[in-house]
Amino acid sequence: MALRKLGDSAYLYPGSPSTLVKTAGDGAVIVDPGHGSGRHKDLRREVRKLGLGIKAQLATHGHADHVAVAPRIDAPLFIHRFEFSIAESPLNRELLTFGSKAPEGFLVFQFPEEVKAHAVFEWGDELFGFKAVKLNGHSPGMTGFLDEENGLIYAGDAFFGERVIKAVGLPYLIDPELFKTSIKELQNYAEKDLLLIPSHGKAVRGEEATELLDFNLGRVEEIESLILDLLKNPMGIDELAFRIMEHYEVKPTPQKLALNLVPLRAFIAQHYNEERIEAVIDRGLKWRIRGD
């Protein structure tokens, strides 16, 4: 695979996640180096074709599939301060995804290698020609990188390609309201005709970008309503996850169910805090519409 030119100084290396490459002076900066046994070699090779070396790495967030090869690239890693402990600790990544130490080989991305974050940034900071944009909801410090020079924003996992969501059922998030707020922020950039790049899915612009953002937002709002409809009968969270996947015709696997339990707990917390549902004990912990 080769770099795809996006502008005067920006390129995209395909994958899931894709990696953004921006030339900056005497070197190149990469966003989300990704994972895979040979990906670090591929990135170095493609950057060398530009006559440059990699001088810095930026991460939208600390999930393993976005930063796993960072230690194999001889360049400092910059990440939001809410994300550095997730990036640096394999156990913390498992806790965020599974809620505890995960069974070996159970999670899709479960890397034992430690990642070193060399510097942290805040939303609003300027880094190597990028502006760090707050797009949290998927993770605590999820950051988009705005490149006004090339008319694009690399949005990480603040939104997903349609095929990705349809394959799993639920968009992966830890706070539905923050996720929706980030989608609405991205809609502002779409209206300005910027190229929007998700980590998982194709880059989109204009009407196509608006339609994809609407799909992401619509799926979250559908799930919020679907949960309330399903909880007319008391239900445990595992059964609820299964029923939602069934609704969206997603074939359940242990890994997909485990993954979907993370956003589902976030939806449950939101409904509970807004006094729409309540917890009951019925041969285990179950949830139901409040007052029924």
Residue, of 147 and 98, whose pLDDT is higher: 147
Q: Is-above-0.95 flag for pTM?
A: no
pLDDT value for 258: 85
Tens digits of per-residue pLDDT, 136-161? Answer: 999 999 999 999 999 999 999 999 99
Detail the DSSP E strand segments found in 204-264: none
Confidence of residue 291 (pLDDT cuts 50, 70, 90): confident
> What pLDDT score does 278 carry?
97
pLDDT on residue 137: 96
Instruction: Give residue 213's region: left, alpha or beta (phi > 0; psi -120 to 50).
Output: alpha
Q: Has residue 193 got a pLDDT over 80?
A: yes
Instruction: Name the DSSP letter for residue 264.
Output: H
SS3 232: coil
Mean predicted confidence (pLDDT) in 122-137: 98
d(CA 97, CA 185): 25
Contact 88, 112 (CB under 8 A): no
- Within a 10 A sphere around the Cβ of 279, how many other Cβ atoms? 12
Question: Residue 91: what pLDDT?
Answer: 79
> Please, what is the average pLDDT of the chain?
93
User: What pLDDT score does 259 carry?
Assistant: 87
pLDDT for 230-269, tens place per residue?
999 999 999 999 999 999 999 999 889 988 999 999 999 9
**Record: fold of 4-158:** Metallo-beta-lactamase; Chain A (3.60.15)
Q: Model confidence at 109, in pLDDT bands (50, 70, 90)?
A: low
Domain map of the chain by residue range? 4-158
Residue 103 has pLDDT above 80, yes or no: no
pLDDT at 89 (0 to 100): 81
Model confidence band, residue 194 (pLDDT cutoffs 50, 70, 90): very high
pLDDT at 112: 55
